Amino acid sequence: MAIASALPFPFALDTSRVGLVVIDMQRDFLEPGGFGESLGNDVRPLQAIVPTVATLIAGFRQAGRPVIHTRECHAPDLSDCPQPKLARGAPGMRIGDPGPMGRILIRGEPGAEIVPELAPLPGEIVLDKPGKGAFHATPLQAELRRLGLTQLVLAGVTTEVCVQTTMREANDRGYECLLAQDATESYFPEFKAATLAMIRAQGAIVGWTAGTDAILEALA
């Protein structure tokens, strides 16, 4: 079914081949005291999209379509975290340092978990990724092939970093990508706006954007 309001032109949604990928809706990025705030960011804009992301997830579950969750986090010994990344953030509040939600962005720590409102259901795929893109050093490609997906709806944070990187990776691998524009957010409004424009430039060179309500209407 076509999503007429999608930009830059209607998106032909294949309800039998589409899945939802929710990027990094983690406590360390959305809550005070996490890595996002340690970089000097206001986390409130990211918190504000949680109800919309929850609505999107619920719609895909109701339609019986796959929901895939990602978490950006690292091994406890930091062996999968490159040195330049370790240098980001204020001293004492960097990846691996103790924080109010355990060690920051470390696999298995409370801060690396997805916020409770968006908790994965048993059986849903949850991928821990050490990089920005969800394909790097994860089994995402194999899972998408196993599920028979050719289209991806994306949501999550942040728009210009992990979401856009994943969308570009997927585009290079032949997936048609649609970003739920009200279910993604950035610490910087201008970065989100620029990313939406880049994604749909030149005739959807990376993909399409559309609102959650329009996506779910087509899915149903």
Catalytic site positions: 24, 129, 162
Phi and psi at 40, nearest 5°, equal 95, 15
Q: Which amino acid is at 92?
A: G
Question: Do residues 162 and 134 lie in contact, with contact meaning Cβ atoms separated by under 8 Å?
Answer: yes
CA distance readout (Å), 158 to 2, 23, 77, 165, 218: 27, 8, 25, 10, 25
Which is nearest to 6 in space by CA: 173, 182, 189?
A: 182
Dihedral sign from CA coordinates of 175, 3, 164, 142? negative
Question: Do residues 56 and 181 lie in contact, with contact meaning Cβ atoms separated by under 8 Å?
Answer: no
How far apart CA 170 and CA 25 sit, in angstroms, is 19
Residues whose CB falls within 8 Å of the CB of residue 150, separated by 6 or more in sequence, listed in order:
14, 17, 18, 174, 175, 176
Question: Do residues 112 and 31 lie in contact, with contact meaning Cβ atoms separated by under 8 Å?
Answer: no
